[in-house]
């Protein structure tokens, strides 16, 4: 299990000039603070992180609204790398070579 503060890439430790970059949502795994990749962007666009979303799934007792509503969450690059190495994230589909 990933614990708070385990992020190898240290997205929360990134210092950017000016320090006024809006914040994206925090990492859902380690709770690291993530900056927005685009300084004047009002949407969630994590720097050194990924945004995931779902419209819900049949079978979920928590979220399956069938009205276009989405849930979103961010995972920092360090957590995503560790989760993939542990088999908790899978790559699917074809690569574009």
Contacting residues toward Zn ion, per CB under 5 A: 7, 27, 29-30, 32, 76, 79
3: tokens are 């614990």
Residue number, 28 or 64, with CB nearest to Zn ion: 28
- Neighbouring CB atoms inside 10 A of 89's CB total 15
Q: What's the min distance (Å) between Cβ of 58 and Zn ion?
A: 29
Q: What's the min distance (Å) between Cβ of 55 and Zn ion?
A: 24
Q: What's the min distance (Å) between Cβ of 1 and Zn ion?
A: 12
Residue number, 6 or 60, with CB nearest to Zn ion: 6
| Coil/strand/helix, residue 53 | strand
Find the distance separating the first CA and the last CA of the chain, reported in whole Å. 34
Residue number, 7 or 24, with CB nearest to Zn ion: 7
Q: Which H or E element spans position 76?
A: strand 71-76
Residue number, 10 or 65, with CB nearest to Zn ion: 10
Q: What's the min distance (Å) between Cβ of 22 and Zn ion?
A: 19
Angle at Cα 16 formed by Cα 10 and Cα 18, nearest 5°? 150
């Amino acid at each position: 299990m990933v614990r708070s503060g385990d992020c190898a890439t240290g997205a929360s430790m990134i210092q950017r000039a000016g320090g006024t970059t809006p914040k994206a949502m925090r990492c859902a795994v380690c709770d690291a603070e993530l900056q927005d990749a685009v300084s004047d962007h009002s949407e969630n666009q994590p720097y050194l992180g990924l945004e995931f979303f779902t419209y819900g799934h049949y079978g979920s007792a928590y979220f399956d609204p069938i009205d276009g509503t989405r849930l979103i969450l961010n995972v920092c690059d360090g957590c995503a790398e560790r989760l993939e190495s542990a088999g908790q994230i899978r790559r699917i589909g074809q690569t574009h070579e």
